Structure 1
C-alpha cells in the first residue's frame, strides 16, 4: 500500500508492505527544495527503493484528500465562506473544483514511474480521516477520543471524534468547524503579519513569542481576530480573512483593513524585531493555546475521555502541546510522529488498509522515526572517496562524543533518515550543552538563522526529570519547563523563558548508536545529554544522502562530519 500526500504543501510518500511500515519520506528531502510543493515522485521512488519494489508491484495507492467524495459539501461551504467580491468568489470556486481533477493529476504524476506497467487502483481518504488514523493507530494506549486541528481539510478545519467503540469500530464524528474558521488559518495569518511565510514559518512565531510578555494592546488586537467562547470553541473573525487566499503562502490571508488593524512597528530600522513584535507573538501564541485547550476540554466534556490523540498541523506547535499535556485535562495525550500533512500519507495508507480489513503495523513501529533512506558502510565510503577528501575510520559514537566534549560542533549522519520535522539522532548537528556559547556558535556559524531561536537537548531518558519537567518526550514534540539543575549545568539548551524542547532517548531507542554517543558523552563529562539540531543550514531541508551531508559540511562552520564510523575533519577543506 502506497500512501501519498501531494498537490499541496508537505508532499510525502509512505509504503506499507504486509502490515509493516517499510519507508516514509518527504519530497523536500529528495528534491532539496525547502517546503517543496512538487509532486512527490522522488519520494515515491525513494520508498520503493527501500523495499526493493517497483510501482507496478504496489497493490493500491491511498491519497490523503477526497474532494470527489465531498464535492457538493465543499462547494456549498465555499459559497458560505466566500468573499463578497466576484474575483475572490471565483478564485475559491476554482480551488474547490480543481480538487475534482486530483485523480488525473495524481495519475499523471505517477505515470513516469510505472515503466509501462498498469497503474495501481487509487483510493481517496478524507483528509481528517487520514490524520485521525495516523494518530489512532500509533497511540501507545487505547485512545478514547481524537482532536484533529489544522489549517483546512476538504470542508473542515477542526474535527472532534469519539473513539470509545475501539479500533474495530468506526470513529464517531462529534462536531466540526468549517474552513476558514481555523486555528491553523489564524496562526498562519499572524505568521504573515510578522513578515514570515505562512504554511512553513509558524514555528518561528512560536519561538518569537518566548521573548514577549502580556500586553493589553496586542491582546485586544489578537482578540479581534480570534476569540474563545465560554463553550471552549475558538472562533475566527471571518470578515478579517480572504478565504480564497488561505491555501496559498504567496497571497495575503487577511484583508487590507485587518492588516492595518493588526499591524504594528514590528521591525527596527536594522530589521530586527521590536518589543511590540515579541508581545504580538506572545498574544497570538497565548490565544492559540487557549483555543487548543478549549477544544480539548470540550472533547473531554462530550466523551468523558481520559486518553486522547491530537493531530493536524496545529499539533506541531510544541508550546501548545506542552501546555496541553501539563494542563491535566487528560491523563494521556498522544501526538503522532508527523502530525502534519506529510504524516497524512501514512494515515491515508492505514485508513485504506483498515477499510479493507487488512492488518495494520503495530503502534511501536508507527512511532519509529527512522524509516527514511539509509546508506550502508560501502555507500558511505564510496561517497567519501568520490569527494577526494581525507577521512579516517573510527568508533563513531565514542569519537564524536569526545569531540563534542572538546568543544567541537559535529555533523552526525548515521543509519536511516528520520521521517517528520525533527532530527532525532540520524541527521543531526550536535554540540556541548554545558557552554551557553554553543547556541550562539551554531546559530552564527552553522545554521545561520534567527538568533532568538533555541536548540533542543537530547537526553538519556532515565535522567530527563533531573533537568526537565517531563520523564518522556521521545520526538521533541513538547516544550516544558526546565529545573534549576538545567539552568546551572546545561545553559545552551535553556530558552530565555526557562523552557526547553527535549528529546528523551530511551535504552531501546532504534538509533542505538546515537544513544551510545550520549552515553559516551555522559561518561566523559557527567552530563547525560547533547545539543541536537537538524543537520541543515538555513533555507535547506535536512540532509538525506551522504553527498548532501558533505555539501552542508563544506558550506558551514561544522568542525567534523561523521558518516557512520568515518570522520572528516574541517582541516580537509583547508580551514
Structure 2
C-alpha cells in the first residue's frame, strides 16, 4: 500500500509518502521550502509531491492508493478566498485563491482522496513513529489536542482549534480557544520577531538572571482549571498595552532586546508556557492513563519545556516528533491515512533522515564556475580542520525532515573556542548575537558533558552543561548554562558519528558545534547546488560534500550578492502544474476572479511566478 500526505494550504506546505516495502515501512518527506528556497513557503507543493513520487519511482498521483490532505481552516472549498497574500502573512509567497483553484482541479485519476484534521495529523506524526504501542498523545500549537494511542488506532479525547472541537471524547460546540501557543506566538511578534521565531523568545528569556524579575502582563485567575486555557483577553491586553519592539528602538535591535523590559516579557511568557504545558501534559496523562507521551505541535519545539516535562517526573517515556511544527503535517497526514486504510507495519524513527539521496558526482563545472577548488578528503582531515578553528559545512546523504539539521545538512565548528558563537552569528548565519548554538555529541559521552542521562537524537530536549565543562566548551553553553544537544549513535548516522569521534581523538572533546546549513532567511539546503550556492555566499571556510573537500580559490571571498535561489525552481513548479492540472481550465476559472480592490487574481498569480504570463 502507498499513501501520500499533502499539506497544501497555509505556511510550510509539503508532501510525504508512506509505502509498504517488504517487511519495512518506507517513508520519504520534504517541505516545499527546501525545494523552492522560500522559507516557510505557502505555495502549492508540486515540487514536494514530485520529490516523493520520484523517490519511489512513481510518475503521477494515480499510482498512489490514497492521498490524505491537511484539513486546515484556510482551506474552504465553499468559500474561495480572495484575500491578498499580505493579509495572511507578510512572508506569504502565493495567492491563497490560486492554491484553492489548483486543489480543485488536480488530476487524481481514481486515487482515493481524503482529509485529515490538522491536530490529528500532528498526533499521527508523533504516535505512529514512536516506540510505543500505547501512549498519551499531546499536540500543542495554535490549537490543542489530546489523543489516546492504542495499537494502530488514535482516539480523540480533547481537541480545539482549526474549527474543530471535541471535549472528553465527544464533538463539542465550543468555539476556538486562543491558548498557550497563540499567546507565546503573539508575544514573539511583540518582541519584533516573525511569528515563526518562537525559538528567539526562548533564547532571550535565558537572560532573565541578569535582571530583576518583573511581570509585564496580567494573567487569568485560576487559569489551570481545564486543558483548554483561554488567553484571548490576555492577548488583547498585550495588544493594547505593550509596544512592539521595532517601533521604539534603532538598528541595533539585539542589544536593545537584552534589557530589563524585553527580557522580562520573554521570561514571563516562557514561564507561562512551561507552567501551562506541565499542567496540560499531566491532565492528558491522567485522562489517557498512559505515562508514555508522544508529543507534537509547534510548542513541542520548546526544548526547555520538554526537559521540564521529564524533570517533573510526569512521564516514564517521551517521544517528541522532530518535525513538530506544521512542517511535519504532511508526514502526519500520510501516517494517519496509512493506518486508517488498514496499514499494519510500524516504524520506530531512529534518525530523521527522510529525504532522498542526490547525485554529487557531476559538480566539476559548478566548482569551476564558482572559482572553487576540491579534493578527496576524510573525516580525520575535516576534524583536524575544525580543531584548528575552521568552519566546515557538511553535506551528505539524505536530508533531515524538520527544522533541525542533524549532521547531513550542517555547519560544524569547534565548541572549545569562546569567540566561535560571535563569529557564526555575525559572519556566517547573519543573525541576532544573543542566539546560542547547539552541540552534536556521541551518545555514550552525552552525560559526561551535559546533565543528560537519556538519548536526545533530535535536538528537542534541553540539558544543562555540567559546570566543570562550561569553560571547556563555551561556544555551546548558553548564558544560563543550558544547551540543546543532539546525541549521535552509529546506527543513526555512522559517517557523522565517525567525524565527531575523529574530532574527539584530535582534541579529547567528543562533541562539536552543529548549526543548520543555511544563511539567515534561507531554508536549510537540500541539493548539492543549494549547498554550493550557500557556501559561496557565506563566510564558511570549507564545504565537505560526501567525500570531497571544497574551498575557495586564492583571492576569492564569499559573495552575499549571490541570490538564494534561481528561476529554475519556478519553472519546474510551473511544468509540474501543467502535468497535474488542465492549465486551460485554470485560466478559465481564474480569469473572472478579482480581489476586493478589483485587482485580477490571475495577474497577481502570474506576477508571483505561479503561472506563465500567457497573453
Deviation by residue 1:365-423 (Cα, 9 ceiling, x = unmatched)? xx43112142234245564356453211122x222111101110011111111111000
Alpha-carbon distance in 2 for matches of 1:265, 1:27? 31
In structure 2, what is the equivalent of residue 526 of structure 1?
Answer: 508
In structure 2, what is the equivalent of residue 63 of structure 1?
Answer: 69
Of 282, 307, 325 in structure 2, the residue corresponding to residue 340 of structure 1 is: 325
Alpha-carbon distance in 2 for matches of 1:260, 1:71? 35
Of 147, 157, 174 in structure 2, the residue corresponding to residue 173 of structure 1 is: 157
Unaligned 5+ residue runs, structure 1?
Answer: 75-86, 93-97, 112-116, 152-156, 242-254
In structure 1, what is the equivalent of residue 580 of structure 2?
Answer: none
Alpha-carbon distance in 2 for matches of 1:405, 1:227? 53
Alpha-carbon distance in 2 for matches of 1:332, 1:28? 32
Unaligned 5+ residue runs, structure 2?
Answer: 89-94, 162-174, 558-615
Question: 1:540 aligned to 2:522?
Answer: yes
Q: Name the SS of the counterpart of 2:114 in structure 1.
A: strand
Shift of residue 307, structure 1, vs aligned partner: 0.9
In structure 2, what is the equivalent of residue 191 of structure 1?
Answer: 188
Q: Name the SS of the counterpart of 2:324 in structure 1.
A: coil
Q: Name the SS of the counterpart of 1:488 in structure 2.
A: coil
Question: 1:507 aligned to 2:490?
Answer: yes
Task: From the superposition, tell whether residues 184 and 52 of structure 1 become closer, same or farther in structure 2 (CA, over 3 Å).
Answer: same
Q: Name the SS of the counterpart of 1:36 in structure 2.
A: coil
Task: From the superposition, tell whether residues 314 and 288 of structure 1 become closer, same or farther in structure 2 (CA, over 3 Å).
Answer: same
Contact 1:231 1:298 in 2 (8 A): no
TM-score (norm 2): 0.78
In structure 2, what is the equivalent of residue 78 of structure 1?
Answer: none
- Equivalent pairs, count: 520
In structure 2, what is the equivalent of residue 83 of structure 1?
Answer: none
Contact 1:413 1:549 in 2 (8 A): yes
In structure 2, what is the equivalent of residue 41 of structure 1?
Answer: 46
Of 408, 411, 415 in structure 1, the residue corresponding to residue 390 of structure 2 is: 408
Alpha-carbon distance in 2 for matches of 1:69, 1:447? 35
Q: Name the SS of the counterpart of 1:125 in structure 2.
A: strand
TM-score (norm 1): 0.84
Shift of residue 334, structure 1, vs aligned partner: 1.1
Contact 2:295 2:319 in 1 (8 A): yes
In structure 2, what is the equivalent of residue 244 of structure 1?
Answer: none
Equivalent positions of 1:83-122 (< 5 A) are 105-108=102-105, 110-111=106-107, 118=109, 120-122=111-113
Question: 1:259 aligned to 2:245?
Answer: no
In structure 2, what is the equivalent of residue 114 of structure 1?
Answer: none
Question: 1:384 aligned to 2:367?
Answer: yes
Task: From the superposition, tell whether residues 265 and 568 of structure 1 become closer, same or farther in structure 2 (CA, over 3 Å).
Answer: closer
Deviation by residue 1:333-374 (Cα, 9 ceiling, x = unmatched)? 11113111221211111111111112344123xx43112142
More helix by share: 1
Q: CA RMSD of the aligned region, Å?
A: 3.0
Task: From the superposition, tell whether residues 489 and 353 of structure 1 become closer, same or farther in structure 2 (CA, over 3 Å).
Answer: same
Question: 1:446 aligned to 2:446?
Answer: no
In structure 2, what is the equivalent of residue 208 of structure 1?
Answer: 204
Alpha-carbon distance in 1 for matches of 2:541, 2:488? 25
Of 460, 464, 468 in structure 2, the residue corresponding to residue 477 of structure 1 is: 460
Shift of residue 304, structure 1, vs aligned partner: 3.3
Contact 1:443 1:450 in 2 (8 A): yes
In structure 1, what is the equivalent of residue 298 of structure 2?
Answer: 313
Shift of residue 148, structure 1, vs aligned partner: 1.2
Contact 2:10 2:74 in 1 (8 A): no
Alpha-carbon distance in 2 for matches of 1:125, 1:492? 43
Contact 2:152 2:344 in 1 (8 A): no
Deviation by residue 1:168-207 (Cα, 9 ceiling, x = unmatched)? 4442414657534222211111111111111x11111111
Question: 1:238 aligned to 2:232?
Answer: yes
Deviation by residue 1:102-137 (Cα, 9 ceiling, x = unmatched)? 8754244x55xxxxx836332111111111111111
Shift of residue 301, structure 1, vs aligned partner: 2.7
In structure 2, what is the equivalent of residue 131 of structure 1?
Answer: 122
Q: Name the SS of the counterpart of 1:477 in structure 2.
A: coil
